[in-house]
Amino acid sequence: MKSLPYRILGLLLVVALSPLYAQEDRYTLLVYGDSLSAAYGIEESEGWVALLENRLAEKQYPYRVVNASVSGETSTGGLARLPAALENYQPDLVLLELGGNDGLRGLPLESLRQNLIAMIELSREAGAQVLLAGIQIPPNYGPRYTIPFFQLFGEIAQEKTLPLVPFLIDGIPQQPDLMQNDGIHPKAEAQWMIVENVWPFLEPMLQHK
């Protein structure tokens, strides 16, 4: 009878610590992008990354989602930040969504290519799978730049043998009422469409414990 309280105490400790163990037992998905992923102009909880985290939980995928996206980020800035992000979060999967600001600034495509490839290789060296998200820029930048810009993402995906979301916000710019006043960023009510664009390519990469 004297040992009973100790048994009860042990059970209580197991129950109390189990959520901590559950958190440690999760995989980490790092979303690494720019304003399209940083919930620009809307509440963070309304952004597609938060909605994706909700879907993962609903479908009982054991993932925590870290959103390391920064509005205005270029591929050069992203490359500079990435080593620290990989070290801090130790992701199992990186969703790489950068390049849009390079395009809007008309920066050289070869620099974008080199930066994206370097980030892919750094992520893989850190033990993470990589999902690349493609971007299009408005047609007023001219076909001599916009067409090879868009094609660049597919070329990199093929070269590095990794899955590609062809166009992150596909279906949204075609409906102006779903875009914010700047004509670049989707409104809150369109964020679920981004999740739908990402999900078919992300889900096959997900793991269960």
Question: Residue 79 CA to chain centroid, in angstroms?
Answer: 15
Is the separation of the CB atoms in 94 and 123 below 8 Å?
Answer: yes
What's the DSSP call for residue 192? H
185 flagged as catalytic: yes
Is the separation of the CB atoms in 112 and 48 below 8 Å?
Answer: no
Q: How far is CA 24 from CA 52, 67, 72, 77, in A?
A: 20, 18, 32, 30
Is the separation of the CB atoms in 48 and 194 below 8 Å?
Answer: yes
Would you report the helix, strand and coil content of the chain in percent, each value rounded to 5? 55, 10, 35
Q: Determine which one of 25, 177, 182, 208 is catalytic.
A: 182
Q: Determine which one of 34, 35, 75, 102 is catalytic.
A: 35
35 flagged as catalytic: yes
208 flagged as catalytic: no
Question: What is the set of active-site residues?
Answer: 35, 182, 185
